[in-house]
Each structure stands twice: as structure tokens, then as C-alpha cells.
Amino acid sequence: MRAAILFCLLSFGIDVAAQPAPPVLIYPENGGWQWVSGDLLWAAVDGAVSYQAQVAVAGSDFGDVLIDTVVTDTSWYGNIAPGFVEWRVSASDGSRWGEWSEVWSFESIFPVANEPDTLPEPALELVSVYPNPSFGTVTLSIQSEIPQQAEVRVFDSLGRQLTRSSLLLSVGRQEIRWDATGWPSGIYTVSLLMAGRASSQLVMLVR
């Protein structure tokens, strides 16, 4: 029966191309936490031009949605109500939406107890990744407002973590280099993470 339906669709020239794959979530990690003013990060999906991200009260099966937004990047930054929440992301290629990602949960908390009006500005940022596209070594420019420890993680287009490095950052702008020599061509997500904060950019490797 399915074969007959597919034959009819192809005969009449109806587009039966595969829908975008479900995005792979990156941050906040499942079961983790972040500040109420924070990020959602996920890996890029081949062919996707936009993403829908939803955040809901944990355990509501997305019946109590707090955030429902569409973005063209692989991240979203904003305020999330304090408490335990769950989130998911779907990708669109411009003509159809794919299936939802896995559902992850985390706790959204205030950085200072009982002082919701004193949220700090982001203290860590991945300012730029260059050259982009790159044929080999990639330079990451990082801005840090305080001395802190952070991690750099690189993910492929399937959301697989390929490398993970720990950094001890000083105050101000600094650069680190990622040797991508020998890595296959493609789009990669470079994420800079610390407790409660994250920043990411896409980089294209060309061979």
C-alpha cells in the first residue's frame, strides 16, 4: 500500500524529499541547570533554514509552554522563568518542519537568592570564529569579564561531540586556536560553556 502511494506521488511530481532531521540538543545539558537569563544551544541540521524552540514547565508534556519561538540560528538567548523546565527543538527547510528533538530538562535558577532584579550581564562570549570558512586552523576570539574556567566543545552536523577542551580564562579578550587540519568538510558547531552560560557559533571547514 505504501509503495503504491509513493508511486503515485512520484508519478504526479509531488515532492517526497525527506523532512529535516530532529536537531541534537547541546546545552543546557539534560538534568543540569542554568541561570534564568541564559541560552539554549543545539547542533545545526543539514538543509535547515530555521528552528522552532519550545520551553515548558517540566512534566507538563508541553501543555504549559513558557517560550515558543522561531529563530534562524542554532541558539536562543533570553529569560526563562525559574523552576524545572523541559525543552525541545524542531528544524525547517523552508517548506516543511521535521520531527521534534529529544526532550531535555533542566532547572532555571536565579544567580542570587531572592534578588531577581540583580541578574548579571553575560560574562563570557565567543566573539568570533575565523577564518570562516576555514581550510585548517580556526581561531576562536573569546571575551571574558572575569577570570574563570570554561570549556570549548565542537559538534558535527549530527550533534556528535568530537572534541572537548578545558580553559582557564583571564579578564579581557583572548584567542585560542583549534587545529582542524585533517577534519572532513562540513559545518561544525563550536560552543563555549561555563556554569550557567554558553555561547556558540557555526564554522564551515572546506577541503
- In the chain, what percentage of residues exceed pLDDT 90? 39
Q: Is 176 within 8 Å of 130 (Cβ atoms)?
A: no
Tell me: the pLDDT tens digits for 155-181?
Answer: 888 778 888 888 888 888 999 999 998
Cα–Cα distance measured from residue 201 to residue 139, given in angstroms and rounded to the nearest whole number: 12
Q: Give the pLDDT confidence score for residue 104 in this predicted structure.
A: 95
For the chain, how big is the Rg over CA atoms in Å? 19
User: What is residue 183's three-state secondary structure?
Assistant: coil
Q: Give the pLDDT confidence score for residue 102 in this predicted structure.
A: 96
Q: Residues 77, 80, 82, 88: is their CA dihedral positive or negative? A: negative
Q: Give the pLDDT confidence score for residue 17 in this predicted structure.
A: 63
Assessment of whether the complete model's pTM goes beyond 0.85: no
- In the chain, what percentage of residues exceed pLDDT 70? 85
Cα–Cα distance measured from residue 129 to residue 138, given in angstroms and rounded to the nearest whole number: 7
Q: Give the pLDDT confidence score for residue 140 in this predicted structure.
A: 93
Beta bridge partners of 154: 163, 190
Average pLDDT, integer, range 125-148: 88
Tell me: the pLDDT tens digits for 14-57?
Answer: 454 689 999 999 888 899 888 887 889 898 888 999 999 999 99
What are the grid coordinates assigned to 31, written together? 538534568
Q: For the ranges 80-84, 85-89, 143-147, which has the lowest average pLDDT?
A: 143-147
Domains, the chain, ordered by start: 25-109 (2.60.40.10), 124-205 (2.60.40.2550)
Does the pLDDT of residue 121 top 60, yes or no?
Answer: no
